[in-house]
Amino acid sequence: MSGELSPIDKAKFVAAKQATEFVESGMKVGLGTGSTAEWLVQCLGEMVREEGLKIKGVPTSKRTALLAKKVGIDIMTLDEAKWLDLTFDGADEFDENLNLIKGGGGAHLHEKIVATASDRVLVIADASKKVDTLGAFPLPVEVVPFGLSVTQGLIAETLTGMDVLGRDVVLRMKGDQPFVTEEGNFILDLHLKRIGNPRQLSFVINQIPGVVENGLFIDICDVVIVGHGDGRVTTRDITNNAANVIRFDILDDDNIFVDIAD
């Protein structure tokens, strides 16, 4: 489908298009969750249909699995794949060291498992996700429902000793009921404003009984591909500190997937 893109959607689209350059036939590829990752799935599907690309995708959520099937990507489970060549995902925030906050869509547990079972992890994002210091986006923490109030209290108490600016711990809701993850758990969103030591915070939070996993991705991302509304794409590779900039010229009749919504 073609049409006029907003600057933010154009940024996501060009980042996704550049990310496809890392994919080769025969690869097993992790497919993340969220609006930016969905642009990538659409682009890969187009390559499968029109260029004969042969890949196996491992989705991190039911939503991604449905989209992958719809666009023609063969999917498999992580247990079937055992190990992946690449994983593509989005991010809610990333810093200069390519540390991330993820989990705005509630899939960070699956996303972290898939990412750590991959040779390389590539994050695609629009420029607004780049921050000097993580923490403006609430940090998601997946917790088991049993003893929820106790776990919530322990997290709040732990935050008093952490290098953060805010300490509000809020149960994520969906309508009038708690948001439930695909593993049947709840999510507590930590409104921290600034995280001074993400590595320490991630370690300490995960030691609390009742916590399943937090949304800090430390030393996991290898490459970040950042799209801009003017068609520029900036790629940063953490392994060799290489960076480059290219530009996409999107024509009115380009095949653009404007039916993807946030």
**Residue 244 pLDDT grade (very low, low, confident, very high; cuts 50, 70, 90):** confident
Q: If residue 151 lies in a helix (H) or strand (E), which one and from where to where?
A: helix 148-159
Asked if residues 88 and 30 have their Cβ atoms less than 8 Å apart, the reply is yes
Is 90 marked as a binding-site residue?
Answer: yes
Catalytic residue positions?
111
Q: Where are the alpha helices (DSSP H) in 23-147?
A: 35-51, 62-71, 78-81, 108-115
Q: If residue 154 lies in a helix (H) or strand (E), which one and from where to where?
A: helix 148-159
pLDDT digits 0-9 by tens, 177-186: 999 999 999 9
Higher pLDDT residue, 30 or 255? 30
| CB contact set of 141 (below 8 Å; sequence gap of 6+) | 155, 187, 188, 189, 190, 205, 211, 213, 214, 215
pLDDT value for 253: 45
Q: Which ranges in the chain are annotated with CATH 3.40.50.1360?
A: 7-131+219-247
Is 104 marked as a binding-site residue?
Answer: yes
Whole-angstrom Cα distance, residue 25 to residue 12? 23
Q: Options 3.40.50.1100, 3.50.50.60, 3.40.50.10600, 3.40.50.1360; which CATH number does 7-131+219-247 get?
A: 3.40.50.1360
Is 91 marked as a binding-site residue?
Answer: yes
* Amino acid found at 171: L
Q: What percent of the chain has pLDDT over 70?
A: 93
Q: If residue 204 lies in a helix (H) or strand (E), which one and from where to where?
A: helix 198-205
Tokens of 81: 């794949």
Asked if residues 98 and 221 have their Cβ atoms less than 8 Å apart, the reply is yes
pLDDT digits 0-9 by tens, 195-236: 999 999 999 999 999 999 999 999 999 999 999 999 999 999
Is 151 marked as a binding-site residue?
Answer: no
Q: Which fold has domain 139-212?
A: Alpha-Beta Plaits (3.30.70)
Is 129 marked as a binding-site residue?
Answer: yes
Buried b (16+ CB within 10 A) or exposed e, 32-42: bbbbbbbbbbb
Is 36 marked as a binding-site residue?
Answer: yes
Whole-angstrom Cα distance, residue 108 to residue 115? 10
Q: Report the candidate in 185, 193, 54 with the shortest Cα–Cα distance to residue 133.
A: 193
Torsion of CA 161, 135, 20, 222, to 10 degrees: -30
Which segment of 78-92, 119-133, 204-218, 243-257 scores lowest on mean pLDDT?
Answer: 243-257
Q: If residue 75 lies in a helix (H) or strand (E), which one and from where to where?
A: strand 74-75
Q: Which ranges in the chain are annotated with CATH 3.30.70.260?
A: 139-212
pLDDT digits 0-9 by tens, 93-122: 999 999 999 999 999 999 999 999 999 999
Tokens of 20: 């496809």
**Residue 250 pLDDT grade (very low, low, confident, very high; cuts 50, 70, 90):** low
Is 34 marked as a binding-site residue?
Answer: yes
